Amino acid sequence: MTSLFCRAAIIGFFTSLDILANMVSIGTLFAFFMVAAALFFYRLYDEKVSTRKEGIIALTHLLLIGAACLGARATKSLLHACITRCHYVS
């Protein structure tokens, strides 16, 4: 366990504060998404009442929501990269 903290300290020492802050934000958002996804699935699917087909449908909806979030983030990153590149060219 101590070696894990030593590795984290070494990585933190050589990484800029901006990158570390973004990693913490990403980790927090990921944890929030996992809890929200679990609650979503828990409310839609009950082993005793729901059929297997309903469970697959609920899981499919969950995956589509996750894919939409990733797609929106990728689009934002691409737009930001294009805008920055155009700004430096002109």
Q: Is 39 within the bounds of a domain?
A: no
Per-residue pLDDT of the chain (90 residues; tens, 9 = 90+): 567 778 777 877 777 777 767 667 677 777 887 888 888 777 777 777 778 888 788 888 888 888 887 787 777 777 777 777 666 555
Specify whether 87 is located in the same domain as 61. yes
pTM over 0.75: no
Parent domain of 25: 1-33
**DSSP result, the chain:** -HHHHHHHHHHHHHS-HHHHHHHHHHHHHHHHHHHHHHHHHHHH--TTTS-HHHHHHHHHHHHHHHHHHHHHHHHHHHHHHHHHHHHHH-
Q: Is 49 within the bounds of a domain?
A: yes
Specify whether 19 is located in the same domain as 49. no
What pLDDT is recorded for position 89? 53
